[in-house]
């Protein structure tokens, strides 16, 4: 039942999902469904809770490692990407958290841990000089959003033959490798032209 | 009228928007609205077209610069972030492209240009050795998705007093600076523990 609800919310969003759709997908009557969840909001809350709990469990699993903090952060983002690919409750919870007003953002469940790990990585000299923990945290947020967007797009369109079957986790691993060592040959930021920020 | 439609789709998504909502927001009757757009799908197509055109114009503006290809790519992503923040047609088109089946992804409108620029940056030695154009393209996709997610979240919740008024463009600039020079102190990828990919 929760699985059918998660799948419906994941595909249709909160607005695009009805209790009758969920009951049909779960093979039960609307009456039987509303016996457990009287409103769509209740059902969405249950899916959110489930997705949040799965995320918390992953967080505890990954942060239990005896590895450098920076490595733990990377593994955590890879694990989050894997969950978004494989776990419909998590993917659905991420979407519901974004679409429902007054719902905490999904990142609230893991970003504080990332920030703590980044401070540790900074203190123990794992970050390059000039790499501020706050900026790395922002990078982590961007990468996680990117993994979600890719997973969602790929689920909707199916893998294209010419791009191969790239997993969101595999893509994220390659992006991390790049971001850790740097994109630019000079090792310095390319001088700004100011076009983007001074534009009309 | 198109502006009201873009705003409605941006906030409610395709499923969460009705023609009567749009006509009300535009201050016209449903009859007057459907005189121009007979169905919600037609209206969404018009918003998508508008957002796509604005994106194309930005693309032409930024790629006209006489600057190194890598810098053009960075400016392009900053400009896309700025459009998502400031232009409701673009933001709405990005959401509609994601939510409507059989609609080309928004990235189809600019990613081919980024790939071309990356090949040029690679050929002219602007990329660090080992930084593959395909991986930088994936990074660009992640960063752009991240900017959209942040813009959307911030629009829904409003700026929080303790985090300050960070713009998506400003965040992206800092993330680029970091990604260009690299996150890791050793300049090498942190050794993988394999937890994320070997997990259950």
pLDDT tens, A139-194? 999 999 999 999 988 876 655 544 556 899 999 999 999 999 998 877 655 555 54
Percent of all residues in chain B with a pLDDT value above 70, rounded to a whole number: 88
Within 13 A of A49's CA, how many CA atoms are on the CB side? 7
pLDDT at A194: 46
More confident position, B193 or A29: A29
**CA geometry: angle at B160 spanning B156 and B161, to 5°?**
155
Q: Read off the pLDDT of each residue in B169-180 and give the average, rounded to a whole number.
A: 94
SS3 at position A29: coil
pLDDT in tens, B2-16: 899 999 999 988 988
Alpha-carbon gap, residue A120 to A130, rounded angstroms: 15
Q: Read off the pLDDT of each residue in B42-69 and give the average, rounded to a whole number.
A: 94
Alpha-carbon gap, residue B135 to B140, rounded angstroms: 9
Domain presence at residue A5: no
Domain presence at residue B29: no
Domain presence at residue A15: no
Domain presence at residue B44: no
CA distance to partner chain A, nearest, from residue B91 (Å): 15
pLDDT in tens, A115-130: 999 999 999 999 998 8
Q: Is the pLDDT of residue B38 over 50?
A: yes
> B12-21, B87-96, B132-141 — which is least confidently predicted?
B12-21
Of B135, B187, B199, the CB nearest to A79: B199
Domain presence at residue B90: yes
More confident position, B1 or A63: A63
CA distance to partner chain A, nearest, from residue B152 (Å): 8
Percent of all residues in chain B with a pLDDT value above 90, rounded to a whole number: 72
Q: Count the domains in chain A.
A: 1
**Chain B residue with the nearest C-alpha to that of A156:** B101
Q: Is the pLDDT of residue B109 over 60?
A: yes
Taking 3-state DSSP, the helix, strand and coil percentages for chain B, each rounded to the nearest 5, stand at 70, 0, 30
More confident position, A7 or B99: A7
B78: nearest Cα among B94, B93, B61: B61
Domain presence at residue A133: yes
Domain presence at residue B78: yes
pLDDT in tens, A97-120: 988 878 888 999 999 999 999 999
CATH number at residue B64: 1.10.357.10
Q: Do B169 and A127 touch (CB under 8 A)?
A: no
CA distance to partner chain B, nearest, from residue A142 (Å): 4
Of A98, A169, A177, the CB nearest to B189: A177
Per-residue pLDDT band for A65 (boundaries 50, 70, 90) equals confident
pLDDT at A160: 53
Alpha-carbon gap, residue A166 to A169, rounded angstroms: 8
pLDDT in tens, A47-59: 999 999 999 999 9
Residue A157: both structure tokens together:
């369109």
Q: Which chain B residues have a beta carbon less than 8 Å from that of A101?
A: 156
Contact of A89 with A4, CB cutoff 8 Å: no
Q: Read off the pLDDT of each residue in B102-120 and give the average, rounded to a whole number.
A: 93
Alpha-carbon gap, residue B152 to B149, rounded angstroms: 5
Q: Read off the pLDDT of each residue in A51-78 and give the average, rounded to a whole number.
A: 94
CA distance to partner chain B, nearest, from residue A36 (Å): 25
Q: Is the pLDDT of residue B157 over 70?
A: no
Q: What is the CA radius of gyration of chain B?
A: 20
Q: Residue B61 is part of which domain span? A: 49-181
Per-residue pLDDT band for B198 (boundaries 50, 70, 90) equals very low
Residue B69: both structure tokens together:
């290809």
Within 13 A of A101's CA, how many CA atoms are on the CB side? 5
**Chain A residue with the nearest C-alpha to that of B59:** A196
């Amino acid at each position: 039942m929760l699985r059918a609800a998660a799948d419906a919310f994941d595909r249709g969003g909160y607005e695009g999902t009805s209790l009758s759709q969920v009951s049909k997908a779960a093979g039960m009557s609307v009456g039987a469904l509303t016996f457990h969840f009287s409103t769509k909001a209740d059902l969405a809350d249950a899916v959110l809770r489930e997705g949040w709990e799965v995320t918390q469990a992953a967080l505890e699993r990954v942060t239990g490692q005896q590895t450098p903090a920076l490595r733990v952060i990377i593994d955590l983002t890879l694990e989050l990407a894997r969950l978004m690919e494989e776990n419909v409750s998590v993917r659905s919870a991420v979407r519901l958290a974004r679409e429902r007003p007054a719902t905490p953002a999904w990142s609230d469940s893991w970003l504080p841990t990332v920030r703590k790990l980044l401070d540790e990585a900074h203190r123990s000299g794992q970050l390059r000089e000039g790499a501020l923990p706050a900026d790395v945290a922002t990078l982590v947020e961007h990468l996680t959003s990117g993994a979600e967007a890719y997973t969602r797009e790929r689920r909707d369109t199916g893998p294209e033959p010419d791009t191969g079957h790239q997993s969101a986790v595999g893509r994220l691993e390659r992006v991390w490798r790049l971001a850790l060592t740097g994109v630019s040959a000079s090792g310095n930021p390319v001088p700004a032209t100011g076009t983007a920020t001074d534009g009309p």
